Amino acid sequence: MQSNIGGQLCENVSSSYTAFRIGPTPRTPVSGPCFLPELTMSLQGKTLFISGASRGIGLAIAIRAARDGANVAIAAKSDQPNPKLPGTIHTAAREIEAAGGKALPMQVDIRDENAVAAAVKQCAGHFGGVDILINNASAISLTSTLETPMKRFDLMFGVNVRGTFVCSQACIPYLKQSAQAGRNPHILNLSPPLSMKARWFAPHVAYTMAKYGMSMCVLGMAEELRPAGVGVNALWPRTIIATAALNLIPIADPKRGRKPEIMADAAYAILTRDSRTTTGNFFIDDEVLTQAGEKDLDQYAVTPGNKDFLPDFFVD
């Protein structure tokens, strides 16, 4: 399931390509149009700012980028171990560096615009810029209107909508510089395709509005940043993804899900496409990988051989 705004279909971009490690592109701005070398994109030397990257899908994306030799700023609140949700910014940094990347762990509340601005500035100063923003952090409460305390409502809107907007706002000046230097900048929000079907709202209207707020940022910012050459897209899983956070949702059975690596590999495929032509899309993970030539989706199943996956929300 993919959609695109502005009439520029994602099929214009070749879905089958070979990635080579070509080394970092100099950050010195160039005059005139920037042209990226065909079929040579990797994340080597690129700098990613990832919210909520201490565990789960965010960490999986960070590790996949690290395998190319990327720099990763881990912006998350988890500075100390949590018995219910294992993983901190420090354990994530060790995993990223073990995979071949460079890590900058930062304890950040993404609802705080001053803290985010300082963190992005620190990231750019440490690594020399920002090339990619992953808006991964999210809060969830699958509760009806009467069962949703306003404190929980504010948390979901604060993290999902405000946090996504704040991180994007802070990173955009650096992403524009990345575009001028021909470094293929992207914003990728982990948010669903927009569907106005009532069945996605009725059981948990507050959560749906909060997640759709992230998707609306994609819809608007993709067109806003198109002239600058910054790609803005959304990525969402077809099935539930087996993360530690999933264990906190009673109705979800991780054994009927897929591993976080499917989202990491799909994100990698998107982030190594040309940002000037790949923008405004609402991607689904397995479709991205199939278009990129991946034939073995069974490798991502939590339970080997399972075909009875539990679908995620918002996928029609």
Domain containing 220 — which CATH number?
A: 3.40.50.720
Radius of gyration over every alpha carbon of the chain, rounded to an integer in angstroms: 18
* Residue 120 near residue 49, CB atoms below 8 Å: yes
Active-site residue, from 17, 174, 207, 300 = 207
14 domain residue, yes or no: no
Other C-beta atoms closer than 10 Å to the C-beta of 83 total 5
Cα–Cα distances (Å) from 240 to 141, 245, 257, in that order, read 16, 11, 5
* pLDDT score of 83: 84
Active-site residue, 207 included: yes
Other C-beta atoms closer than 10 Å to the C-beta of 158 total 17
87 domain residue, yes or no: yes
Q: Is the pTM of this model over 0.85?
A: yes
**Among 21-30, 130-139, 234-243, whose mean pLDDT is lowest?**
21-30
* Residue 169 near residue 148, CB atoms below 8 Å: no
147 domain residue, yes or no: yes
223 domain residue, yes or no: yes
pLDDT confidence bin for 130, thresholds 50/70/90: very high
213 domain residue, yes or no: yes
Domain count, the chain: 1
187 domain residue, yes or no: yes
Residue 200: domain span:
40-300
Q: What is the mean pLDDT of residues 73-93?
A: 93
CB neighbour list of residue 248: distance below 8 Å, 6 or more residues apart? 84, 85
Structure tokens at 247: 């264990």
* pLDDT score of 49: 98
Burial of 220: CB neighbours in 10 Å, binned 0-12, 13-18, 19+: middle
Q: Please provide the average confidence, as pLDDT, over all residues in the chain.
A: 88
pLDDT confidence bin for 85, thresholds 50/70/90: confident
Tell me the per-residue pLDDT of 194-207, one tens digit each, with 9 for 90 and over: 999 999 999 999 99
312 domain residue, yes or no: no
15 domain residue, yes or no: no
Helix (H, G, I), strand (E, B) or coil at 284: strand
Residue 37 has pLDDT above 50, yes or no: no
* pLDDT score of 297: 97
